[in-house]
């Protein structure tokens, strides 16, 4: 892990207003390179908004955001080259095959040696057998794995995951966790949001809790166990959960 040097992701007093609704109030966050951060929070706390801002999908209203060394919203293009995003929606085209989907995104990301790269990632997510099947025919769990393949295709230095376990059954979620663990080669910065405290803690170096658009708690995994986290979370988020 890289302790010195600039953070991979940083926000300072980040805020977001959606006209009538304030989704994020003042978020200060620093994620070091190669660090894995898991963010917990009740529904409506602003987790998805935070991920979407880092993913350049949503523009911040106030504050400063830096991802992979570039500022948002000005250098959005440079940020996009260096991030991979997985949300509830898989960003896959149903009528196209897995291979065609990856080819499309590969071209958009200007991935070199695309055919080889596709073969590599599809093997990493364990879907070689379905490479030429239409995405429509894949189960939810497989589609989510395909989404991850899409997200890492261009070898991003930062991976953003917004509740990747949503919509998947227990078995699929286990597969997902294994996959993410394998993909986390220690060089990528990973920011993930999730509802599952146990899993989230297991997969991270550091955790944070977001409530009502503010980070109210941060702690290194080393200093925590599941029980303590559960207690702290219930206390912080209890009234709103």
Measured from the CB atom, the residue of 47 and 80 that comes closer to another protein is 80
Enter the tokens of residue 61. 């209203």
- Residue 26 CA, distance from chain mean position: 20
List Cα–Cα distances, 227 to 31, 185, 231, 238, in angstroms: 24, 28, 6, 15
Measured from the CB atom, the residue of 5 and 20 that comes closer to another protein is 20
Site residues (CB under 8 A) for another protein, limited to 46-75 = 52, 55-59
Residue written as tokens 């940083």? 10
61: phi > 0 → left, psi -120 to 50 → alpha, else beta; which?
alpha
Number of residues in contact with another protein, rule: CB under 8 A?
39
Measured from the CB atom, the residue of 125 and 237 that comes closer to another protein is 237
Site residues (CB under 8 A) for another protein, limited to 151-190 = none
Q: How far is the CB of 182 from another protein (least distance, A)?
A: 23
Cis peptide before 195 (omega within 30 of 0): no
Site residues (CB under 8 A) for another protein, limited to 73-132 = 77-78, 80-81, 83, 85, 87-96, 100, 104-105, 107-110
Query: What is d(CA 234, CA 231) in angstroms, rounded to the nearest whole number?
Result: 5
Q: How far is the CB of 5 from another protein (least distance, A)?
A: 24
If one asks whether residue 25 binds another protein (CB under 8 A), the answer comes out as yes
Enter the tokens of residue 93. 């085209």
Q: How far is the CB of 211 from another protein (least distance, A)?
A: 9
Q: In degrees, to the nearest 5, what angle opens at C-alpha 184 toward C-alphas 221 and 42?
A: 50
Strands (E), 83-188: 83-86, 158-162
- Residue 221 CA, distance from chain mean position: 18
Among the residue ranges 13-21, 116-124, 191-199, 218-226, the one whose residues contact another protein (CB under 8 A): 13-21
Q: How far is the CB of 198 from another protein (least distance, A)?
A: 27
- CB distance 157 to 188 below 8 Å: yes
Q: How far is the CB of 60 from another protein (least distance, A)?
A: 11
Measured from the CB atom, the residue of 110 and 171 that comes closer to another protein is 110
Residues engaged in binding another protein (CB under 8 A)? 17-22, 25, 52, 55-59, 77-78, 80-81, 83, 85, 87-96, 100, 104-105, 107-110, 134, 150, 212
């Amino acid at each position: 892990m890289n302790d010195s040097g600039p953070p991979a992701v940083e926000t300072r007093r980040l805020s977001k207003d959606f006209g009538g609704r304030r989704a994020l109030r003042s978020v200060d966050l620093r994620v070091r390179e190669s660090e894995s951060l898991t963010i917990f929070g009740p529904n409506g706390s602003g987790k998805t908004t935070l991920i979407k801002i880092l993913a350049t999908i949503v523009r911040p209203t106030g504050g400063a955001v830096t991802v992979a060394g570039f500022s948002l919203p000005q250098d959005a293009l440079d940020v996009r080259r260096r991030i991979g995003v997985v949300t509830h929606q898989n960003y896959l085209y149903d009528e196209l095959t897995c291979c065609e989907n990856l080819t499309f995104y590969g071209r958009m990301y200007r991935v070199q040696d695309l055919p080889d790269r596709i073969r590599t990632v599809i093997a990493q997510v364990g879907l070689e057998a379905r490479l030429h099947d239409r995405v429509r025919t894949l189960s939810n769990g497989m589609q989510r794995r395909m989404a991850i393949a899409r997200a890492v295709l261009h070898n991003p230095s930062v991976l953003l995951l917004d509740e990747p376990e949503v919509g998947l059954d227990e078995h699929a979620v286990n597969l997902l966790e294994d996959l993410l663990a394998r993909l986390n080669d220690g060089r990528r910065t990973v920011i993930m949001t999730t509802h599952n405290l146990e899993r989230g803690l297991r997969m991270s170096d550091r955790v944070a809790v977001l409530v009502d658009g503010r980070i109210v708690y941060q702690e290194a995994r080393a200093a925590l166990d599941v029980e303590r986290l559960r207690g702290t979370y219930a206390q912080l988020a209890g009234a709103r959960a």
